[in-house]
Structure 1
């Protein structure tokens, strides 16, 4: 049996918004009875069938990296960010500030992504003659924006008269799911929410494939291009 590929999904948001409860429900199809604060990072895993029912179908491990939202740990969080193939942004529907703060989390991912790319570029320049060296393909995030999905929790506590604009999801051009993480029906198979999540996982898998391809090209160049520049050879002409 061949090894099952892994896809890393970051789960981000302020402390207390329900990230861990959401992850547990998504991974195990059952609510978390006694949620607690996440310190550092915790990881849950589930199996996902990429493009289920199609000829491209393939099994992947979806890794949910539940990142602690404490402001005091903001400088140590980036250690968990690489590789990153997608991000789930979680906010509390009863706390408008937690949704506004999702912009900070997106900026944090972007800042870490740029710093990682700059570091990789310097490494490539300094070791351009060592093309035979091995490299970690997953250490490179890629140039394209990662896929996102927004999760609004504590729907049961939301004032039904309050109108929501889904600002963050609209800004990112992604889906949003609003739910009560204590109720399995919100992520039940066949529901629109389950379809949205499955579509998001597929996008993350495609981002993983793209980041691996871009990593190889960035490090070694286009495999169909000449290895030597025209400075060292003359093209053959008939």
Structure 2
């Protein structure tokens, strides 16, 4: 039997405190929901094994603290990310308004090789609250924001009801895998002549 390739993918989940990032991750990995979660301090991660086509994928999902005073702690966790999931609460306008800051901060700190093609996914969480009567951010407004960022994928979710959670993270995993494969191709096709003598030796200039 042919050996299946194993891939480790890193997905970063960003958004304001209280939007339900930890709840979404716990629902996705453990199929549990609780109202007793404590706010993330610094960063935390969960893992899930997936099979995507011929690839055995270990998905590592990082949750960084949403409080402003902890944002600087997340910088080192952004690097090496294969996909970024942005989360807001459809019932809290400020969490949606903060998306531009999270988006720009991620690109600045992670500094992917191609900002325009790096995969982002947007989740509008807590659509279950009050039967949708409490929401202040419309689906159209969210989709318009996604269109302005290069038509990134959008899902409306509920961690409590387990609505669209699997679909959203599967999309993140597939986007991360596509990005990881694209980076592999990019690095494999750099002509050796373009590398410095130091880089060809595999050392550093320091």
Alignment TM class, shorter chain as reference: 0.7 to 0.9
2:127 corresponds to 1:149: no
In structure 2, relative to structure 1, the CA distance for the partners of 1:216 and 1:94 (3 Å cut) is same
1:6 CA drift (Å):
0.7
User: Where does residue 78 of structure 1 map in the other structure?
Assistant: 75
User: Where does residue 107 of structure 1 map in the other structure?
Assistant: 104
Separation in structure 2 between the aligned mates of residue 2 and residue 176 of structure 1, nearest angstrom: 31
In structure 2, relative to structure 1, the CA distance for the partners of 1:109 and 1:160 (3 Å cut) is closer
2:31 corresponds to 1:60: no
Residue from 9, 12, 16 that aligns with 2:11: 9
User: Where does residue 31 of structure 1 map in the other structure?
Assistant: 33
In structure 2, relative to structure 1, the CA distance for the partners of 1:29 and 1:111 (3 Å cut) is same
Two-structure CA RMSD over aligned residues (Å): 2.6
User: Where does residue 123 of structure 1 map in the other structure?
Assistant: none
TM-score of the two chains, using structure 1 as the length reference: 0.69
Higher strand share: 2
Name stretches of at least 5 consecutive residues in structure 1 with no aligned partner: 52-56, 115-140, 188-192, 229-238
Q: Compare 142-151 and 81-90 and name the one that shifted more.
A: 142-151
Paired residues in the alignment total 187
Deviations 1:155-201 (A, max 9, x none): 122427864421432323122221221113x14xxxxx644542331
In structure 2, relative to structure 1, the CA distance for the partners of 1:27 and 1:161 (3 Å cut) is closer
